[in-house]
């Protein structure tokens, strides 16, 4: 069941959450000025940095643009430590204690849902300190958990499909957990001001966090901490200020951010050894005498030694790789480049020992071994 089929009903400041793949409007028609709020709270925004709506063939939404040339090394943005929204794990009393208990039920791999609960709490709170920021968030997100059922099926890539369905199932199950936990909570202890949550609002919050939140590593200074953004290169007038998301695959980009990179050098594809599929592929490739699904005894022995078949077979399971990064390069690993569509290059990282599997299985004799 796609989460997008569930309609949000009653959170203060919240409109019904639906799936949209076009320009995302903000939560309210005329939200507070975000830059003014940051400056009012002791933050800094460079005078040449402007928030600007972007909508073209590749990007849409709000972005940062330089209204004039900015020299290298310039301080662009500085935020006092009290401005970023954080989830405090120390259980307090009443509503905060309930929120921490709910967050403890969230798997570590779905950390965004923990901060998402705090986001929903502040979104439901009238006069929230963070309302100037929250009101500027998109009303909808085009991440796969909001796809319709047929669109999810059309992803046609098992590891990605597994992760999408897993997140959808989690949201539906967690929705029930939240309802049970809040059923007996006193009105004054309700973390969301008595407002009702459902899987759609939970999905909105998780998507808002996963597409925006990040952790800054470093020591906390005694005199206070400021989060700073510094220009590492000269920025020309009208240039967009872009964030480097890191060396991620298109699977992660789509899951957490709702987009893919057309030519992503860090894209990876997971392949599973399966006899029937390999037989079909070998026939399509014109390889004679395919033996994948019915290997000879000597082939079966070698495949077992390679842990590709049998009770000890190593099968990659997305659930056992919670960070969704399946491949680690080693001295015995290599990589090849494959093409997915027009000018779309991806890396397929493989174990060097398993490369000989294809040679083994299509041979009729074991003499070359």
- Prediction pTM value: 0.73
Q: What is the pLDDT along the chain (369 residues), one digit of tens a residue?
A: 333 332 222 233 332 223 333 446 888 889 999 999 999 999 999 999 998 876 655 556 778 999 999 999 999 999 998 999 988 876 566 778 899 999 999 999 999 999 999 999 999 999 999 999 999 999 989 899 999 888 888 888 888 999 999 999 999 999 999 999 999 899 888 999 989 999 999 999 999 999 988 777 666 666 666 788 999 999 999 999 887 888 888 999 999 998 888 888 888 777 666 777 777 777 777 766 556 677 778 777 777 777 777 776 665 543 333 333 332 323 233 443 333 334 444 444 445 555 555 555 555 555 444
Interhelix angle 111-124/199-210, rounded to 10 degrees, is: 110
pLDDT of 347: 46
- The CATH label, of 3.40.50.10860, 3.90.1410.10, 3.40.50.300, 1.10.760.10, for the domain at 3-245 is 3.90.1410.10
13 CB-contact burial (10 Å; exposed 0-12 / middle 13-18 / buried 19+): middle
128 CB-contact burial (10 Å; exposed 0-12 / middle 13-18 / buried 19+): middle
Residues with Cβ < 8 Å from 296, sequence gap 6 or more?
Answer: none
How crowded is residue 56: how many other Cβ atoms within 10 Å of its Cβ?
6
pLDDT of 218: 64
Residues with Cβ < 8 Å from 115, sequence gap 6 or more?
Answer: 85, 86, 87, 209, 213
Residues with Cβ < 8 Å from 97, sequence gap 6 or more?
Answer: 91, 189
CATH 3.90.1410.10 domain residues, the chain: 3-245
């Amino acid at each position: 069941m796609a989460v997008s089929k569930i309609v949000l009903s009653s959170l203060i400041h919240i409109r019904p959450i639906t799936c949209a793949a076009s320009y995302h409007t903000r939560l309210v028609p005329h939200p507070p000025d975000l830059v003014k709020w940051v400056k009012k709270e002791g933050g800094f925004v460079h005078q040449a940095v402007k928030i600007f709506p972007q909508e073209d063939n590749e990007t849409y939404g709000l972005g940062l643009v330089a209204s004039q040339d900015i020299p290298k090394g310039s301080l662009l943005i500085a935020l006092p430590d009290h401005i970023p929204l954080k989830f405090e794990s120390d259980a307090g009393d009443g509503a905060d204690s309930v929120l921490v208990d709910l967050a403890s039920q969230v798997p570590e791999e779905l950390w965004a849902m923990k901060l998402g609960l705090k986001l929903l709490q502040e979104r439901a709170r009238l006069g929230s300190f963070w309302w100037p920021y929250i009101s500027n968030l998109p009303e909808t997100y085009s991440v796969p958990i909001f796809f319709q059922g047929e669109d999810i099926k059309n992803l046609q890539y098992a590891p990605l499909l597994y992760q999408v369905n897993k997140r959808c199932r989690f949201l539906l199950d967690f929705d029930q957990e939240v309802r049970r936990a809040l059923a007996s909570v006193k009105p004054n202890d309700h973390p969301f001001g008595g407002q009702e949550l459902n899987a759609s609002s939970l999905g909105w919050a998780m998507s808002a966090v996963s597409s925006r939140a990040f952790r800054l590593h470093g020591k906390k200074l005694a005199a206070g901490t400021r989060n700073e953004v510094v220009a590492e290169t000269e920025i020309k007038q009208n240039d967009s200020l872009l964030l480097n998301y890191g060396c991620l695959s298109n699977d992660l980009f789509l899951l957490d951010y709702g987009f893919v990179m057309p030519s992503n050098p860090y894209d990876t594809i997971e392949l599973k050894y399966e006899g029937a599929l390999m037989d079909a592929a070998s026939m399509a490739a014109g390889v004679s005498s395919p033996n994948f699904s019915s290997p000879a005894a000597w082939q079966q022995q070698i495949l077992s030694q390679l842990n590709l078949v049998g009770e000890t077979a190593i099968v990659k399971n997305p659930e056992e790789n919670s960070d969704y990064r399946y491949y680690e390069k080693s001295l015995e690993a290599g990589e090849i480049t494959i093409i997915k569509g027009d000018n779309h290059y991806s890396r397929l990282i493989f174990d060097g020992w398993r490369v000989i599997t294809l040679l083994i299985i299509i041979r009729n004799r074991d003499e070359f071994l």
